[in-house]
Amino acid sequence: MTELLQQVRVIDPVSEIDGLFDVLIADGYIQAVASRISDIGSDTKIRDCQGLILGSGLIDLYSHSGEPGFEERETLLSLLQAAAAGGFTRINILPDTSPAIDNPALVAQLQQKRGGEMRRMREIREKEKINLAPPASPLPLLYLWGAITLDVAGKQMTELADLASAGVVGFTDGKPLENLALVRGVLEYLQPLGKPVAFWPSDRQLTANGVMREGSDALRFGLPPIPASAETTAIAAMLELVATIGTPVHIMRVSTSRSVELIASAKAAGLPITASTTWMHLLLDTKAVKSYHTSLHLDPPLGNLHDVAALRAGVRAGVIDAIAIDHTPYSYEEKVQAFAEAPAGAIGLELALPLLWQYLVETGEFTALELWRALSSSPAECLGQKVSAIAPDQPAELTLFDPQQTWKVERKSLYTLSQNTPWFGQQLKGRVVQIWC
């Protein structure tokens, strides 16, 4: 099918372009990009895209799947549909499923599952003649992080070389690894494999039973605190190992202003590191916890105002390379507990782009290119991948976004099976129209 998108705002972080263009797409490729395109075939579908945004496909560095093991939270299909509805053309799944993604057989099984879901969706559409926009065409590309350790205690490495051969995108446990001797061994072992490795630095002894960032708000709300040093001391130790061994490392879930300073200094010294924060840590601070909404119980916890400002500045400056979604679905029953007892995490794949656009771009704090880069080309670079420019003869891996469309966050408007978000029941502005992948 050939489709002409007329007068769409193109945001291309690869070519540093932000402007109005006509874009012609056919057979999965971009055929032409110009101020005006008039030479088209009679079978070309023409689409008026005034007010819409066409950007490079969004890429999520890490999120959680309920399947296998916790399908009541999220199936692989619902996760991929939610990702598509949120504008993501690539999604990277953390290995903390049950069983964990720690062997080549499970890697192959999940990759085949994605293909099977694609075929099933095509069959449904052809049979019932329905259009399931936006996730109908197509599901995002699925990548899998391989587990670093086998056992719960995190003391034994997986067969990293076998997992690398099976096609994992990289290695992480998605949980803190406090055995620094093991971390050192992993860095040494992974060096020749050429795969990304991601760590979440957090000292669990300092975290203890805390549930929110240490400070006056924690005292006011009567919740056990977590000092910022639980993160910063672990990052400092990680940076020392990277400086000694030289293996490139991605630092996940950065949440404090001091962490941004440490990472900036390490990058200035030439250390091979990248870093990411999560979308909710850019939007909310500790004051939001006064509602005691259990979807605000995150790990790491929301930071204070100074942390949020530093994280935003870090993303704009490229010190923090990417914004991750860290989509963490839980069932209603799991989250209906006291704040401190509820499991940490919130959903976000369908919410992140509209809310980030509304509160960062429309306010003028971020340019459109800065936000799109942190959600698209920069996450790809953290994984050793590339994003194509929005240019002729390039693959059409694209996201079409309507920043003015309003919708209500409710069960019938979400593809994810879970609803653990503080925005549930609220009206949002901005929604993805379609992806090409």
What are the residue numbers of the active site?
326
Provide the H-helix boundaries in 28-149. 76-85, 104-128
CA distance 345 to 239: 26
Whether the CB-CB separation of 237 and 180 falls below 8 Å is answered with: yes
Beta bridge partners of 17: 12
- Which residue's entry shows tokens 């719960």? 152
Q: How far is CA 177 from CA 153, 181, 300, 329, 427, in A?
A: 9, 10, 14, 23, 39
Beta bridge partners of 59: 90
Dihedrals phi, psi of 254, to nearest 5 degrees: -70, 135
CA distance 118 to 140: 10
Whether the CB-CB separation of 16 and 376 falls below 8 Å is answered with: no
Whether the CB-CB separation of 18 and 54 falls below 8 Å is answered with: no
Structure tokens at 37: 């395109």
Structure tokens at 420: 């653990």
Q: Bin 349: left if φ > 0, else alpha if -120 < ψ < 50, else beta.
A: alpha
Could you count the other beta carbons within 10 Å of the beta carbon of residue 411?
Answer: 10
Residue 64's nearest CA partner among 262, 278, 220, 226 is 278
Any long-range contacts for 66-71 (C-beta under 8 Å, 24+ apart)?
Answer: 66/97, 66/329, 66/417, 67/97, 67/113, 68/97, 68/98, 68/99, 68/106, 68/110, 69/97, 69/98, 69/99, 70/97, 70/98
CA distance 256 to 229: 9
- DSSP H or E run through 190: helix 180-190
